[in-house]
Amino acid sequence: MTATVTTPPQRTPAQRLLRLARRNKLSTVGLILFGLIALAAIAAPLLSSHDPLAQNILHRLEDRSADYLLGTDVYGRDTWARILFGLRVSLLIGLISTALAMIIGSALGILAGYRGGWVDSLIMRIMDMLLAFPTLITGLFIVAVLGANFWNIVLAITVTILPKFARVARAPTIALKEREFVEAARALGYSDVRIMAVHIAPNVLGEVIVLASLWAAYAIRIEAYLSFIGLGIAPPTPTLGTMIREGFEHILDSPFVSIYPGFAVLLVVLSLNLIGDGLRDAIDPKLRD
């Protein structure tokens, strides 16, 4: 009896990436969109000919023109430039707070799942309590109490989304700690910290990353909501939420002053949701059909 052994075709990393992209159209579209937005935010000074802070009362509430791509706001500031610079704030706050929530939340979740017993009960009880607070209202509350500045806003968003990561990291950890490779690591005398960080964490990463892209979308929206309510980074720094808030006062005569930044928020959030949604399919094919 001759067995034919078929070796899987060898692929270069580029080919593999292309294959992944073809299988995962939504994620790819999202990734490209997000990349473009991030690039535009980084290159903001190069892409806009106007200073986002420069007021020009003679050109207030102007319509789109070759000079002012998206028109001007009530102080005659260039909306296009302000959106680009506002995106920097949105992306920085959104990504930093999601990263912090991801790291701390997953660490707590892995610790809870790995240790079990009272450590588990304590951590997860606290997470349940945090989950009871409506996210936006908690964010409002924290920023209102501590004061509206960059790091307080990051803190507020981190605290509100952290429990979701703890939950998602805990469940697979409970299954993983019974597996042979973890037992082997324990038999070799590795410390718990090393087992959790080196052996368990990488196996939990997939699910955590899917969640991260979806919650980054949420974090960016929360930042916009906070500044819309007036709890964002203080003016004159442009943020998308503040622009919408200021534009809303002139909704009748020049609606676009608030609509353009609104669409900017939509695009960023959509790009992240596309990435997360596609990734979720890739990781859990069960959900695809």
Which residues contribute to the site for other proteins (CB under 8 A)? 26, 125-126, 128-130, 132-138, 140-142, 144-147, 217, 221, 224-225, 228-231, 244, 248, 251-252, 255, 258-259, 262-263, 265-266, 269-270, 273-274, 277, 287, 289
- For other proteins, the closer of residues 47 and 104 by Cβ is 104
CA atoms within 13 A on the CB side of 204: 33
CB of 114 closer than 8 Å to CB of 198: no
Which one, 113 or 262, has the nearer CB to other proteins? 262
DSSP states of 136-177 as a string? HHHHHHHHHHH-SSHHHHHHHHHHHHHHHHHHHHHHHHHHHT
- Closest distance between other proteins and the C-beta of residue 66, in Å? 25
Residue (50 or 82) nearer to other proteins, CB:
82
Q: Which is nearer to other proteins, 116 or 147 (CB)?
A: 147
At closest approach, how far in Å is the CB of 165 from other proteins?
17
According to DSSP, residue 43 is labeled T
Q: Which is nearer to other proteins, 113 or 276 (CB)?
A: 276
CB of 89 to other proteins, least distance (A): 15
Distance between the two ends of the chain, CA-based, in angstroms?
39
The 3-state DSSP class for residue 252 equals: coil
In the block, residue with structure tokens 């939950």: 167
How far apart are CB 248 and other proteins at their closest, in Å? 7
What are the tokens at 3?
């067995």
Report d(CA 134, CA 91) in Å as an integer. Answer: 23
Looking at beta carbons only, is 204 or 224 nearer to other proteins? Answer: 224
DSSP character for 4?
P
* Angle between helix 13-23 and 25-42 (nearest 10): 110
Residue type, 69: L
Q: In angstroms, what is the minimal distance from the CB of 128 to other proteins?
A: 6
Work out how close the CB of 113 gets to other proteins at its nearest, in angstroms, rounded to a whole number: 19
